[in-house]
Structure 1
Amino acid sequence: MYKTKKRVFDIIQIGNRKDFISSAFDIFIVVTIVLNLFVTLFQTFDESAPYANVLNVLELITILIFTVEYVLRIWTADFLYPNKPYWKAVLAFVFSLYGLIDFFTFFPYYLPILFPMGAVAFRMFRVIRIFRLFRVNAQYDAFNVIINVLNDKKNQLISSICMILIFMVAASLCMYSLEHEAQPEQFANAFSGIWWSVSTLLTVGYGDIYPVTTMGKVMAIVISFLGVGMVAIPTGIISAGFVEQYTKLRMLAFHSEEHELKFVTSVIPQGHSWCRKKVKEVAFPPQIILVTIIRNGEALVPNGDTVLMENDTLVIGAKHYNGEEYINLKEIIVKQENEWVGKQIKDLDISRQELIVMIRRKNRTIIPNGLTYIKEGDAVVLYSKLKDAD
């Protein structure tokens, strides 16, 4: 059951271009999303009436697919959140952004069955299905840049939006005070001017509600000028965020000290303490960086939320050591006729100035000790001290 569950998780959660089933599933889900959106949009046209039965069947099929996919994602949630108990992992997925999008993609379809009287109202929830396309866009760097900008600037954006809302309420109160006597039907209370203030501050100006008194018109001019500046604040924040994102790499290139890195690889065996942990939860030594993860033949660029899986090959980089005059590292391939074969390291006839620091055996990397046996085909990394450093 564990292997089956793990395989399902790899297919539905981890895109792998070299895995035919995983790639086919991704394509299948994209086609299903597009088909569902096409049905939703086409049903709004009068020309769709002759095909109503076919469209209803297609909608039902796509909804069932979304339902099954959602159930499978809940079933494998403990792989997505490996450091949480199963029920907490399920809750974490259910209340995540993509979990909510997936849920509201199919759940409103079943509501009219339970509440037939609200069938018309429930149809408005179908618009949420379009957000399923975010799952497709999330694989591209351009979409990730947008998400990063919004995350970095969320505090400023929230503050600016609060300022706009406060200003809208203030504008509504002002216009109520100035226009209530002249237009009691249009400005009946303090909140009846909200529609006018929203359309004015956002520079839409529908013209269905407007001031008729002299002071009301003067106030409308002032509010309109202020509205242009207020609305420009979140726009400027987002624009500045994009500029910052795209200049970070240039700043690193022109204002940083360059060091050569050396890379080593290590395979995570089954049952290792790093298995199913997020990268940000692994304590790497200082000046050590995880550069790439090779998973099923595909190179993944990791971030803090990337989950390490068994059999992942980690490409690890570190600052290059420039003391070659003091030490020497060499790799020795142990062949069948080598006298080291079958011996423990403590029994090898090597100099005290030499030390076996690593053994590569097939797909495993071994940090040896004196009791480790040398086997045929081992790649032994031998450290030799040449002379003392000053």
Structure 2
Amino acid sequence: MDERSERWAKRFEIPLLIAAVLVIPMLVLDQADLGAPWDTVEAVLDWGTWLVFLLELVVMLSIVPDKKRWLRDHPIDVAATLLSPPMLPSSLAAARLLRLLRVLRLLRLAPLARRVFSLDGVRYGGLLAFLTLIGGGTAFAAAEHRASEWEGIWWAVETMTTVGYGDVYPTTVAGRAIGIFVMVVGVGFGTLLVGAIAERFIAHEVDQDIQEIDAGEDELRHELREVAARLERIELALRTRRR
């Protein structure tokens, strides 16, 4: 790809990463069959994520110099867009499972994911965890027919923090599916925090070591200059005596 194509590809990285991640709760809602209003949420996620993939496909094919080569190099991108349109009828259940191809985009976006889920990307992980907490708790309350959404949010908090008091637990397939997603996000965000804190301490120690090395090099250069000056004075003195 030329420079213009690479710039546009980088612009699509974050939207595609978000879209690929949102496919997971979309599939959970689709399989849970919670009814209104979750059917509407699932439809919005389905159309929204698919339109992001479609937009990337259209834009990249319009600007890349070699369209055939781009299609050969991006088979998952093409398949995720062409084989998983939201307008597929609900009777084609097997075909609708092809939406999993959108999740596979995370493999190609792995380098970006590593940058996002790093010390600088903690805020993105925190935002994802917060949305999962609120959305997962609300969905759990609806799936388990709880009296209050706050009960679902309480369950999401103790699930994400791996406390697990056992006072609230899923009894339906939909609730357990939501629980799996909430647990994965919770454990992932905890791991992210631990890694970010460790990286911060390590980076601080590395900076200190670099500063110490730089200071040692400066001191060594200063001593070498003094030794060179002394040798020069000794050489000058020897020349004076010979005369």
The two structures have a TM-score, normalised by structure 1, of 0.26
Going by fraction, where is helix more abundant, 1 or 2?
2
* Structure whose alpha-carbon radius of gyration is higher: 1
Tell which has more relative contact order, 1 or 2 (C-alpha 8 A, sep 6+). Answer: 2
The two structures have a TM-score, normalised by structure 2, of 0.39
Going by fraction, where is strand more abundant, 1 or 2?
1
